[in-house]
Structure 1
């Protein structure tokens, strides 16, 4: 079986160790992203999900960026 997706294998087939309870899939500035809520209640960008290569050049979507608005 071949899956054409920007998601990682652990996101598609999670195991007991890979279950992320504080991660969400949101739309931020018109793009779909995986974010993780940290201890201060802020959202940190984990992964950008896009098929447009130009989206990955945008500095607002660097993994680890703190997202102020939700």
Structure 2
């Protein structure tokens, strides 16, 4: 089966709640993103929620947000 959709795989097939307890939807620098909260209080970006191509040049998954 091939599924053509702009949604991520986790939106279609929700993962179990294990391991995602520190994941939050945050606003950073005016952009919405999903990030994991680290023990030191910083965030590590998982997914950028934007339709502006310029945002993807500025932010990349895995980057640390202070």
- Please say whether Structure 1 and Structure 2 have the same fold, judged by a TM-score greater than 0.5: yes
Unpaired segments of 5 or more residues in structure 2?
none
1:53 matched residue in structure 2: 53
* RMSD across aligned positions (CA): 2.3
How many residues are treated as equivalent by the alignment? 64
Tell me how far apart the structure 2 counterparts of residues 22 and 57 of structure 1 sit (CA, whole Å): 26
1:65 matched residue in structure 2: 63
1:22-33 residue pairs with structure 2 within 5 A? 22-33=22-33
Runs of 4+, deviation exceeding 6 Å: none
TM-score (norm 1): 0.69
Q: Which whole-Å deviations, capped at 9, do the CAs of 1:36-61 have from their partners, x for residues lacking one?
A: 01233321011111001111111xx1
Shift of 1:16: 2.4
* More helix by percentage: 1
